Structure 1
Amino acid sequence: MLSSFLAFGLVGAATAQNYWFSFGDSYTQTGFLTNETLPVPGNPFGNPVYPGYTATGGANWLDFDTTTYNNSLVLTYNYAYGGATIDSGLVAPFEPTVLSVTDQVNQFLDTAASKPAETPWTSANSLFSIWIGINDLGNSYYLSDNRTSFDTTLLNAEFALIQKLYDVGARNFLFLNVPPTDRSPLMLSQDAQAQAMLKANILDFNSQSAEFTKNFQASNSGVTTFLWDANAAFTTILDDPTAYGFVDAVSYGTNVGDFWINTLHTTSPANVYWAEGVADVLSGSIW
């Protein structure tokens, strides 16, 4: 775990700052709007008021990493949107108003990508993260007999977006893979066949994603990639929850010791572990 070198609200305006541009779904969302208050020292998320509109019952992993587990002043532009898929044309979200990662990247391209005076990021002082796939797989694992081919289609779409980010100057990328949502209370209410199908789909998607990441880095000069293995982190705790302060692997709600806040999302105490894991991955960089 990285030390809490700088804490939320304690940094002077003259401190060198780094920029984090985040894309994803409800596991990451805080409710940021591009046309409202932007991140500044002392208010590193801009809007809404910290910790934002999360799906954790409190601060989420990105909240913790921005405000506590870092080695620098981080200003975070969090485009993540609850329910997001990579592209709604490939996998429909639960509502048509949900902003896919395609929409989120377009928001960035239409605003901060041009490095305006209020967001003077550079290739060196910026990190771009993406945690996506949970809804893509959860909403489609049962629809196709050829999951490997469809996973490739999804990842082609995702990495086309990542290429667009590279083309405007992004060089540092953090990828977070799909956790074992087959073990979520939502899926435990389904039959064993459904759980096995989703598990196999997740493993294939994550495996292909790792290869796509390697190929992307090899094909684009100056790229640095980081990977936090969310699947392994979740599995470690779910296999021995009491060792990490949770009552069991299946309870959900707002009781002390619950791992899940509802049938699909983890509690804020669980997100502390995710934040620490990401911080470890980024250790040694400027973050």
Structure 2
Amino acid sequence: MPQTSDFYRYRELDGSKQQIRLARLLRSQPVANTLYKRDFIYCELEIFDMNTAPEFIALSYTWGGPSDNRYIAINNKLLAVRMNLFDFLSAFRADEANTQYLWIDQICINQQDTAEPFGDSYTYVQGTLGHQNYTFIGDEFNFSFAPAQLFSNRIVQNLTGTAEGGPNWVELLTGCGVEDGLHNPRECDVQLWDFAYAGANTFEEAGFTPLHHNHTVSLERQIEQFASYGSPALESIHLNKKKALVAIWIGINDINDLVSTQGKNASFAPLYEKIQDRVFENVEKIYELGYKNFLFMNLPPLDRGPGTPNVNASLVASFNKIHAAHANDFQSDHKDVKVLQFDVNSVLNYVLDHYQDYGFKNVTDYCPGYNQPDILTNPSQYGCTDLNTYFWYNSGHLTSRTHEVMTKALKRWLSKQ
């Protein structure tokens, strides 16, 4: 039986460059190895910069069912492919005239690494099939989607492609959709399938956490949408659930809305318990689908936001403490799961306390022209410095630069887990 060390592990592409992996079929077995049969397909997989890559043939189509597998050898390590791809490679190799490099999505894209985020405006990314300024795909009135719709969807990156005026933390973490323009998640080295919805609460309840808009998809409904349509679609492209990262950042609207609906003198701890009960009831549903890796983000320092914040540091700390207790309980109840809790609050409080070290000039206010089409090229027209010098993008959101600083800390932290 093959051991874990026998299987191919992808080398990461350099996120600072435009790079591509290309495969080249070998005519003979490169080294003697009793693990492999003589009729194996042997390939070399190489990384090239796009501007210096050799000519290649691109091939991409539906590769068959997940139970219909054969192994090939990539750089003398095993990689599972579908039977009809194996047949194609066998036929291609049989013709000695075929010496070209190949780009085949099932081989050249790292199909093992994906991220599935849920949450609110801090996490949503704009999609071509999403509600404008709110979501990657659909809304409460367009809740269902077919796999073909999901896979034809594209991440939009521009000033309004997120709630931050540029790439947000999930795009920066995955490297998917960072540059201006349209991006196919399936062509990213870490695929990003975002189900967050701007303005979302954990759940809808009149007089408690009501919908911000009639089209808003709460976290509870995001997960229902994912279970009914998103996960089955991703299964069809052979998503590895055991390696996928489910990321959840929710609560920013909950904590603010509870002050509005319950009053500033309410006893909030029981209300936060109610919120977290519902969060983890829904996390359980994702676990039941077979996902094993969960990243939870706590609330940022909302008490230090522009103007007069709705919440103080004590309320934020209470919310975060209750959230952490529920995440710990979830981990205790599921020994086969990896639960990661990133302390956004501490990281960003540190940045605020040392803001000049990160190039920020303004951490108490935001540029009034933040949403103007020429803000990036002519900020002085609105009495502003460059947007990257602001910590806050507007009254309720962080700038893309702040997301970048936070994500660098997140990546360092994840590398140690």
Q: Do they superpose with TM above 0.5?
A: yes
Extract unaligned runs of 5+ from structure 1.
41-45
Find the aligned partners of 1:218 and 1:195 in 2 and give their Cα distance: 31
Matched, 1:74 2:190: yes
Q: How far did residue 212 of structure 1 move?
A: 0.7
Q: 1:237 to 1:116 in 2, by over 3 A?
A: closer
For residue 158 of structure 1, the aligned residue among 252, 264, 279 is 279
Q: How far did residue 167 of structure 1 move?
A: 0.5
Q: How far did residue 88 of structure 1 move?
A: 1.4
Matched, 1:275 2:407: yes
Correspondence 1:107-146 to 2 at 5 A: 107-114=225-232, 116=234, 118-141=236-259, 143=262, 145-146=266-267
Matched, 1:58 2:58: no
More displaced 10-residue stretch of structure 1: 87-96 or 240-249: 87-96
Q: Which has the higher strand share?
A: 2
**Paired position in structure 2 for 1:247:** 361
Find the aligned partners of 1:19 and 1:240 in 2 and give their Cα distance: 33
Instruction: Give the secondary-structure state (helix, strand or coil) at the position aligned to 1:73.
Output: coil
Q: How far did residue 240 of structure 1 move?
A: 2.2
Letter in 2 for 1:263: S
Find the aligned partners of 1:117 and 1:248 in 2 and give their Cα distance: 45
**Paired position in structure 2 for 1:189:** 308
Superposition misfits of 4+ residues, deviation over 6 angstroms: none
Find the aligned partners of 1:222 and 1:9 in 2 and give their Cα distance: 37
Find the aligned partners of 1:86 and 1:102 in 2 and give their Cα distance: 6
Find the aligned partners of 2:341 and 2:287 in 1 and give their Cα distance: 17
Instruction: Give the secondary-structure state (helix, strand or coil) at the position aligned to 2:272.
Output: helix
Q: 1:83 to 1:66 in 2, by over 3 A?
A: same
CA contact (8 A) 1:56 1:266 kept: yes
**Paired position in structure 2 for 1:10:** 19
CA contact (8 A) 2:392 2:398 kept: yes
For residue 204 of structure 1, the aligned residue among 308, 318, 321 is 318
Bigger-Rg structure (1/2): 2
Find the aligned partners of 1:275 and 1:163 in 2 and give their Cα distance: 26
Q: How far did residue 202 of structure 1 move?
A: 1.3
Q: 1:11 to 1:81 in 2, by over 3 A?
A: farther
CA contact (8 A) 1:230 1:274 kept: yes
Extract unaligned runs of 5+ from structure 2.
1-10, 22-104, 127-135, 139-144, 179-187, 371-384
The higher relative CO (CA closer than 8 Å, separation ≥ 6) is in 1
Q: How far did residue 125 of structure 1 move?
A: 1.8
1:121-173: CA deviation from partner (whole Å, max 9, x where unpaired): 23322110000000000111351622111110000000000000001101100
Q: How far did residue 234 of structure 1 move?
A: 1.5
Q: 1:156 to 1:250 in 2, by over 3 A?
A: same
Correspondence 1:162-177 to 2 at 5 A: 162-177=283-298
Find the aligned partners of 1:182 and 1:105 in 2 and give their Cα distance: 29
